[in-house]
Amino acid sequence: MLKKEQNDYLCQTGPGTPMGNLFRCYWMPALLSEELPENDCPPVRVKLLGERLLAFRDSEGKLGLIDEFCAHRGVSLWFGRNEDCGLRCPYHGWKYDVNGQCVDVPSEPAESGYAKKIKLKSYPLIDQGGVLWTYMGDPEKQPPLPEFEFSTVPLNQTFTTKRIQECNWLQAMEGGIDSSHVSFLHRGDLSNDPLFKGAAGNKYNMQDLSPVFEVVESDGGLLIGARRNAEDNQYYWRITPWVMPCYTGVPPRGDHPIHGHFWVPIDDESCWAWSYDYHPTRALTETEVAAMKDGKGVHVKYVPGTYRPLANKDNDYLMNRAAQKAGKTFSGIEGIGMQDASLQESMGPICDRTKENLVGTDNGIIMARHRLMRAARALADKGTVPPGVNPEHHKVRQAALLLPRDVQYKDGAKEALVARKGVRQTSV
Amino acid sequence: MLKKEQNDYLCQTGPGTPMGNLFRCYWMPALLSEELPENDCPPVRVKLLGERLLAFRDSEGKLGLIDEFCAHRGVSLWFGRNEDCGLRCPYHGWKYDVNGQCVDVPSEPAESGYAKKIKLKSYPLIDQGGVLWTYMGDPEKQPPLPEFEFSTVPLNQTFTTKRIQECNWLQAMEGGIDSSHVSFLHRGDLSNDPLFKGAAGNKYNMQDLSPVFEVVESDGGLLIGARRNAEDNQYYWRITPWVMPCYTGVPPRGDHPIHGHFWVPIDDESCWAWSYDYHPTRALTETEVAAMKDGKGVHVKYVPGTYRPLANKDNDYLMNRAAQKAGKTFSGIEGIGMQDASLQESMGPICDRTKENLVGTDNGIIMARHRLMRAARALADKGTVPPGVNPEHHKVRQAALLLPRDVQYKDGAKEALVARKGVRQTSV
Amino acid sequence: MLKKEQNDYLCQTGPGTPMGNLFRCYWMPALLSEELPENDCPPVRVKLLGERLLAFRDSEGKLGLIDEFCAHRGVSLWFGRNEDCGLRCPYHGWKYDVNGQCVDVPSEPAESGYAKKIKLKSYPLIDQGGVLWTYMGDPEKQPPLPEFEFSTVPLNQTFTTKRIQECNWLQAMEGGIDSSHVSFLHRGDLSNDPLFKGAAGNKYNMQDLSPVFEVVESDGGLLIGARRNAEDNQYYWRITPWVMPCYTGVPPRGDHPIHGHFWVPIDDESCWAWSYDYHPTRALTETEVAAMKDGKGVHVKYVPGTYRPLANKDNDYLMNRAAQKAGKTFSGIEGIGMQDASLQESMGPICDRTKENLVGTDNGIIMARHRLMRAARALADKGTVPPGVNPEHHKVRQAALLLPRDVQYKDGAKEALVARKGVRQTSV
């Protein structure tokens, strides 16, 4: 349970807020690479942390993320012409490069130097792993590029999608570090979903509905271990890494690709749910990629032409009571991604955490909140660089394994929890 | 005319408001019985007096009206599984019975007794006359069950529907106690509507457009008598009972079933308009029920799959100017129910009563407002149980009759205004 | 750049605001004559300057613009019956004439004189040039009728439309006095639009993208001269008249009809963009009128049955990136009217002028704002009748002409800028 002030503190990420300042210390996914498919393609509107921005790719392939609005009279540059290494406002022809620098004001004599004085807010945009990443903080403090395994393996080993989620980022992210709900919400999918089914470990999810949680701090965030009973005096461990502020990894199943999420605030009442799938040591199969594109696993089907899920709150997520009654799905909603999103959105745009009743399985959530608040305060008070900024912190891996009951997972899974090039995931 | 503070006082019914506290003294219609058609059927979202609730019917047929949101982390239990005498949250499997008592928290050992400590807000829900009624007040002060005639006659003698009305409850209810508008707004329907036409008394409605109102207090609310001139030194009296806070009865016509309404706040900008039709001494005919289902009389046609009227403000209520011009309908809107609703909604979400100009025919409205304010204050100041709580107050009847001009209706219609088992309504 | 207080001052036009009081000094377009096509036709809802009004035409052809809501209990008179020289409220039959005077309250005895005491707010409505004009100010100070040329030439010489624009009036109007954007935003249309193309002067628009602005005060507002280089030691002048508060004229092209706009606030976040086309000395041709009806020139295509443009913000104005890339349109939006509207709406409901960077070509805008503020203050402080109220101020004309470089346009174009009966526009 949080006080209202604490909830506001964690949920608000607009310019000038403490959590907003924290988010602005990190590289974050901003767009899919496919959204800027070629040089001089149409610009794309992007809203992040409450800021309205425009992404574009210039004639030479350079990427830019700039203020959406022209410095002159404020029209949206989304209507702009992307030509000759710059985006030209269609109203009076002011032109900007990928850094937001104005390079032409046609009505002013070039020799006046007027254009040089005009510069839009801009953020770097880099292409890595099929994702365009941005950093929205102080340029002086820009950290090295991110090194999450999913975006640094070869492109044929990784597949990432995004979807709009119509609630605050925190309640979405809290779902991502809460592996205790799998045995309920997703139980039907453990035996049906092509990207989940068939793993030997699935049976422990189904058998033991009272996992015991052990959460430990990592350099970049947390490791959330969920322990379920297994045979032969063993425990079945599923370990979820959380890297601050909003990267989460779902523990793997068999040889299925590993998946997880980034939860990036659009504004205080919506966020981007990014979903990645990758395999550390092999290309994804055609069948796997087809399933992902079909909305299986952690991915979803879309309203055509958008990144909004086809099942959404306006259609009650296509609730199927018959499938629910028959136990085909636990909540009546189809697909793991929308099972999560439907419930998280049902909490309201911003979950009222003054009313919650947390239990042992929520320890990961409790500790994540505290770590976020602590980091935001240290940043505000002392300028401390928060955990998760250092790319070394990104090199974690989710794991699922059996360990003897007397072995602690931070010891027994130590190697399994590190991203190691050319080494397969540890997964039962 | 009201001051702004008075208007707010009467219109606001959320938790903690004076009028909200008044409403919470009464049994009120919450759902139609048909909405929970069988044991373990899907739960139904219900918003009343600004509170978001969930109704369900368990495996044994017990009815519950509980907080919509799980006590754990706040997801909507609408997605829940209704099974084994309880509603199970699909997120982590917490389970609640019809009283809101948590009966299972799977992640906690049963012996911990944790579940017992968790209880959702809940209200009783009882089935009477095709309607599920609730009482949202202090359990210690729960009054006896309601005894309105429409819901206590045999089921084949009564038929009730509900529709969403997109405005505050008070302006809807004020339409229900205002019988003077019949001669205008509904004049076309007096001769066309199968549930209104043919009554001998209709001609007085059409002939005398200046009814004189005599309003008297009853134990439970008001009796609003509208007097029109008739032949042979008689008056034609139409007497509308209002039982606090929001039950109104339309005076009957011939042997048609008697109808009337309940006006129940959803929140401050919308309400449920309940419409009942019953006959005290005979079954409704197939023709009558078919007409009601077809939206005739006080009932309406719906947007399929909803309780929203098909004619609504988004389509200008299917205004038909040709029918209006031809005098087929007075306002161009079809159907008595939507004729009322369209005008009441046109006043805005909450009518601004600081601008109104009331006349003699509004005496019923003036007195109802005063009685409501008086009762809310007495409740707030002294805890006085308000009129209309006692089921004896429910046993009223609307009446339409001819009386000699020198007879007062409270004397001449005394018996007619009482619900008497096995005795037909008094109706011309 | 404006301070926030200045921006609010200029943008807010509701009752009691300084700019609202200024607007209430003028006759303004309220409806198209076609909206009230015959006696006793349906009334029409009109919202202007934040006031909700109802226009109707009575049995004798008299026009009225009255409060939308009945004085009795506040229902919308849009549902009213227009009959026998008055509009009758469908609820209880109260009836109003075109002056808002209540002429019948059926429930009150006629001899009581009650109706006479009830009068709705009302404004005059006059039909001139296919437009119904209103004056919403103090009746004592009602100015003479407007004398804009477009609405005083014979009806076969003029054609006017209107469309809803979903932003504050000021940013729309500022587009109307900003002729510098033509060379960019509308460049494709100069050679394609049937109501623009073919004029000899168009080439100067295309060749010289750095027009020099010379703005001078006129009696009623401003003359905004844009000077572009031409051959033979001449300048090509395009001169835009602005008559306070919101009339603007587009400089003409060849013998095409002359066009321009009125920008009338609906409320603070939307306005009516009125578009006129007329020829001072000849009838419009069938081809021209057909093009206007087809949304060419300054006109637009509509969502059927409404005055909302078919291309609107809900469909991204039917953005056509291929046409933009090919240079067929500069911004990807089709049609001069929607090219303007799309960009102006993209500034947001109310443009944030604290962030703008104005240049020389914005001098007309800067001076218009100052003149508006000055007039509003003089009105507030001293009751000074503002410029543009006197019908003599309406008799201006836009002009496009070549002048020797050493001639000032206020001298060289002096006659061209005056509306003169039977004299053709000055246009290259």
- Beta-carbon neighbour count of residue B312 at 10 Å? 21
Question: Which of C174, C183, C359 has its CB closest to that of A108?
Answer: C359
Q: Are residues C56 and C174 in the same domain?
A: no
Q: Which of B334, B338, B151, B372 is nearest to B249 (CA)?
A: B151
Kindly state the tokens that stand for A278.
């990758």
A106 and A168 share one domain: no
Asked if A37 has any chain C CB less than 8 Å from its own CB, the reply is: no
A contact chains, 3+ CB pairs < 8 A: B, C
Domain extent for B132: 27-141
What token pair was written down for A395?
């090199």
Cα distance from C80 to chain B (closest Cα, Å)? 6
Q: Distance (Å) from the C-alpha of residue C330 to the closest C-alpha of chain A?
A: 6
Q: How far apart (Å, rounded) are the C-alpha atoms in residues C200 and C223?
A: 23
How far is C335 from C332, CA to CA, in rounded Å?
10
Q: What is the DSSP string of B176-211?
A: HT-GGGHHHHTHHHHHH-TTTTT-TTHHHHHH---P
**Does the residue A390 lie in any domain?**
yes
pLDDT at C374: 98
pLDDT at B414: 95
B347: closest chain C residue by CA: C75
Residue B387 is predicted with a pLDDT of 98
Three-class DSSP category at C213? strand
Tell me what pLDDT residue B150 has. Answer: 98
Opening angle at CA A110, ends A108 and A112, nearest 5: 70
Structure tokens given for C228: 């572009």
A323 and chain B: CB distance < 8 Å anywhere?
no
User: A91: closest CA among C349, C343, C354?
Assistant: C343
Q: Which residues contact A343 (CB under 8 A, 6 or more apart)?
A: A175, A185, A331, B75, B76, B79, B90, B91
**What is the pTM for the complete model shown?**
0.95
pLDDT at C179: 79
Number of independent structural domains in chain B: 2
Q: What percent of chain C has pLDDT over 90?
A: 93
Q: Which residue has the tokens 């009464």?
A: B26
C237 and C285 part of one domain:
yes
On whether both A305 and A334 belong to a single domain, the answer is yes
Domain end among B141, B173, B207: B141
Rounded CA-CA distance B285/A326 in Å is 40
> Averaged over A308-318, what is the pLDDT?
98
Identify the residue among A70, A89, A107, A119 best suited for mutation to test binding to C, counting C beta carbons within 10 A and taking the highest: A107
- How much of chain A exceeds pLDDT 70, in percent? 100
Q: What angle do CA A214, A219, A223 make, to 5 degrees?
A: 25
Report chain A's mean pLDDT, rounded to a whole number: 96
Question: Which residue in chain B has the smallest CA separation from C69?
Answer: B347
Residue C6 domain flag: no
Distance, in angstroms, between B309 CA and closest chain C CA? 18
CA distance C38 to C156: 20
**Residue pair A40/A83 in contact by the 8 Å Cβ criterion:** yes
pLDDT digits (tens, 9 = 90+) for B141-176: 999 999 999 999 999 999 999 999 999 999 999 999
pLDDT exceeds cutoff 90 at C206: no
Q: Do C306 and C407 belong together in one domain?
A: yes
A20 in a structural domain: no
Measured in degrees and rounded to the nearest 5, phi and psi for residue B360 equal -55, -40
C-interface mutation test, from A79, A84, A108, A119, most C Cβ less than 10 A away: A79
pLDDT in tens, C123-134: 999 999 999 999
Whether residue C362 is contained in a domain is answered as yes
**Beta carbons of C297 and C289 less than 8 angstroms apart:** no
pLDDT of residue A352: 97
Q: Is-contact C183 C238, C-beta < 8 A? A: no
* φ/ψ (deg, to 5) at C143: -80, 170
H, E, C per residue of chain A: CCCHHHHHHHHCCCCCCHHHHHHCCCEEEEEEHHHCCCCCCCCEEEEECCEEEEEEECCCCCEEEEECECCCCCCEHHHCEECCCCEECCCCCCEECCCCEEEECCCCCHHHCCHHHCECCEECEEEECCEEEEECCCHHHCCCCCCCHHHHCCHHHEEEEEEEECCCHHHHHHHHCCHHHHHHHCHHHHHHCCCCCCCCCHHHHHHCCCCEEEEEECCCEEEEEEEEECCCCEEEEEEEEEECCCEEEECCCCCCCEEEEEEEEEECCEEEEEEEEECCCCCCCHHHHHHHHCCCCCCCCECCCCCCECCCHHHHHHCCHHHHHCCCCCCCCCCHHHHHHHHHHHCCCCCCCCCCCCCHHHHHHHHHHHHHHHHHHHHHHHCCCCCCCCHHHHCECCEEEEEECCCCHHHHCCCCCECCCCCCCCCC
Whether residue B264 sits in one domain with residue B207: yes
What residues contact A182, with CB distance under 8 A and at least 6 apart? A190, A205
Instruction: Give yes or no: residues C153 and C129 share one domain.
Output: no
Mean pLDDT of chain B, nearest integer = 96
**Full strand arrangement of the beta sheet holding A125-128:** A27-32, A131-135, A125-128
Contacts of C118 (CB under 8 A, 6+ apart): B357, C71, C72, C94, C101, C102, C105
CA angle, residues A64, C355, C49, in degrees to nearest 5: 125
The CATH number for B259's domain is 3.90.380.10
What gap in Å lies between CA B403 and CA A97, rounded to an integer? 89
Chain C contact set for B226 (CB, 8 A): none
- Tell me the backbone φ, ψ of residue A275, rounded to 5 degrees: -130, 120
B169-176 vs B363-382: helix crossing angle, rounded to 10: 130
pLDDT of A347 over the 90 cut:
yes
Tell me which residue has tokens 């006046």: A112
**C127-144 average pLDDT score:** 98
Which residues, 6 or more positions from B254, have their beta carbon under 8 angstroms from its beta carbon?
Answer: B198, B199, B200, B201, B427, B428
Q: How far is residue A412's CA from residue C250's CA, in Å, rounded to a whole number?
A: 79
Query: Residue C333's pLDDT band (boundaries 50, 70, 90)?
Result: very high
The pLDDT of residue B219: 96
What was the pLDDT predicted at B182?
Answer: 83
DSSP string, B133-177: EEE-S-GGGPPPPP--GGGTS-GGGEEEEEEEESS-HHHHHHHHT
Residue range C44-64: mean pLDDT, rounded: 98
Residue B388 is given by DSSP the state T
For chain C, the farthest-separated pair of C-alpha atoms sits apart, in whole angstroms, at 82
Residue A258 has pLDDT above 90, yes or no: yes
Residue given tokens 């303004």 in the structure block: C28
What integer pLDDT is reported at residue C189 of this predicted model? 86
Cβ separation A42–C351 shorter than 8 A: no
- The answer to the question of residue C1 being in a domain is no
- Which residue of chain B comes nearest to C109, CA vs CA? B210
CA C17 to chain centre: 20
If you average pLDDT over residues A45-52, what whole number do you get? 98
Within this chain, do residues B83 and B108 fall inside the same structural domain, yes or no? yes
- Predicted local distance difference test score (pLDDT) of residue B179: 80
| Chain C residues near residue B336 by CB distance under 8 angstroms | none
Q: Show which of C141, C171, C204 is a domain's final residue.
A: C141
Contact B380, B356 (CB under 8 A): no
- Chain mean pLDDT for chain C: 96
The tens digit of pLDDT for each residue in B308-346 reads 999 999 999 999 999 999 999 999 999 999 999 999 999
Tell me, what's the pLDDT at C368?
97
CA distances from B393 to B240, B245, B274 (A): 14, 12, 19
- B330 and C81 within 8 Å at the Cβ level: the answer is yes
- List of E strands, B297-413: 399-404
Q: How many CB atoms lie within 10 A of CB A22?
A: 25
**C-alpha distances out from residue A162 to A318, B329, C185, Å:** 20, 53, 34
pLDDT of res. C183: 81
Token pair recorded at residue C416: 């061209």
For residues C276 and C158, membership in a common domain is answered with yes
> CB–CB of C218/A140 below 8 Å?
no
Separation CA C119–CA C139 (nearest Å): 15
Core vs surface per residue C236-251: b (16+ CB within 10 A) or e: bbbbbbbbbbbbbbbb
Which of A355, A358, A365 is the best substitution to test chain B (most B C-beta atoms within 10 A)? A355
- The rounded Cα A48 to chain-centroid distance in angstroms is 12
* A192 and A269 housed in the same domain: yes
The answer to whether residue C419 sits within a structural domain is no
Contact state of A356 with B78 under an 8 Å Cβ cutoff? no
CB contact under 8 A, B343 and C81: no
Is the Cβ–Cβ distance between A102 and A119 less than 8 Å?
A: yes
User: Nearest to residue C233, comparing CAs of C407, C361, C400?
Assistant: C407
A357 in contact with B at a CB cutoff of 8 Å?
yes
**What is the ipTM, given to two decimal places?**
0.94
Same domain, A408 and A357: yes
Q: Give chain B's residues under pLDDT 70.
A: none
| Predicted pLDDT of residue B190 | 85
Give dist(CA C314, CA A45) in Å, integer: 15
- Residue C95 sits in the same domain as residue C234: no
Partners of A212 in the β-ladder: A227
Q: Is residue B17 in a domain?
A: no
Residues of C in contact with A78 (CB under 8 A): 346
In the three-class reduction of DSSP (H, G, I as helix; E, B as strand; rest coil), residue C409 is classed as: helix
Q: Quote the tokens at residue C360.
A: 């020389």
- pLDDT tens, position by position, C253-275: 999 999 999 999 999 999 999 99
DSSP 8-state class, residue B349: S
Give the end of a domain, one of C84, C113, C141. Answer: C141
Q: B404: burial class by Cβ within 10 Å (0-12, 13-18, 19+)?
A: exposed
Q: Tokens for C100, please give them.
A: 């808002």
Is residue A427 domain-resident? no
